[in-house]
Amino acid sequence: MKLAITGVTGYIGRLFAERVIEERVAERVVGIDLAPSNFSENQLRYVQRDVRDPLLARDLAGSDTVVHFAFVVETMRDRRLMYDVNVKGTRNVLEACERNGVKTLIVASSIAAYGVQRDHVITETTPCLGDSRSFYGHTKRLVEDELDLFAARNPAVRLVRVRPSVVLGPRCNTWALGAMAELGRFDTRRGMRLPVVHEDDVVEAFFRALTRPVSGPLLVAHRESLSMRDVAPLLGRKPTILPARVLLGLSDFAFSRGLTRMSSDWLALTVENTHRYDPSATEAKLDHRLKHSQLDALKAALENGARLRAAGVTFDAKTDRLEGTRYVLDAAEGQP
């Protein structure tokens, strides 16, 4: 296998690359990202490149397998840029794969692509609706559309879409740590639900998707999600109950003034969904069930956040994503 990984210095991209290197399942690994790499030259060949760059096709030359992790997950104040990276960047990756005759493509999608499904139990075949209130979910749904078109043009390519819920764990160093400052402070009368999955379970899913002859969508999520009542005791808080509309409005107000990293972009999905999932098909395809509980994932992330704070890392809303300064967050608000 000759493998290329985009977003290789990001949270899950790096963990996945480490697993691939450790297991020695690829004879060649090319890692692509914007942030500087601390992989050694004998681990992989690193290329510092934006996924929107047309020269990406040159970087993928000779690769038969591509795993695409390069996405912006945190809500950006410049939505035009977020759209450009997530949607146009993916389109560029797909075109580069076509040009180089890639045989296997694995893409990091998200449960956010499903949008608002309210009380429905979500499976791998549930339509990806996205939602206008969640810009990240909107871009992920558009990515799914791009993958549909790619699949129609390239039926011989083994295409896998991995849709995990919110990834947390002992090496979490993403925007989520900053957003956790608000976790458990508020709830709604209906009760917000938080779908969490441990980073090791997500990496295992991607690794099995890489090394097994599977295709189609994979759902990496627990059947039930955490409630704020589950979360609050870990933080020593009792949630203040607010109407959903008020909570979403307060979130956007605070986000617009740089007071929080959590806009209504993610809250809209949390408020409107019960986040119930049935990943039976994924479990059968991968011959694997999730090993870590959601509370274990949350506790591990909180402990890592405390360690980072002790080391002087700040999580205020005006800093860029903790996984690397790749894009400017304080650009003017825009629309795609």
Q: Which residues are catalytic?
A: 136
- Which is nearest to 143 in space by CA: 64, 219, 61, 217? 217
Contact 87, 140 (CB under 8 A): no
Please, what's the largest Cα pairwise distance for the chain? 55
Token reading at 315: 């999580």
311 CB neighbour count, 10 Å cutoff? 7
Q: What share of the chain is helix, strand, coil (3-state, %, to 5)?
A: 40, 15, 45
Strand partners, 226: 194
Calculate the alpha carbon distances from 320 to 147, 197, 236, 261, 326 in Å. 29, 24, 28, 10, 8
- How many other β-carbons are positioned within 10 Å of the β-carbon of residue 21? 17
Q: Which of 116, 117, 106 is nearest to 147 (CA)?
A: 106
Rounded to 10 deg, the angle between the 228-235 and 294-310 helix axes is 30
Q: How many Cβ atoms from other residues are within 10 Å of residue 101's Cβ?
A: 13
Cα dihedral sign, 319-323-329-335: negative
Count Cα atoms within 13 angstroms, Cβ side, for 243: 3
Read off the amino acid at residue 109: S
Cα dist from 202 to 15, 26, 106, 220, 324, whole Å: 10, 19, 13, 7, 21
Q: What is the CA radius of gyration of the chain?
A: 19
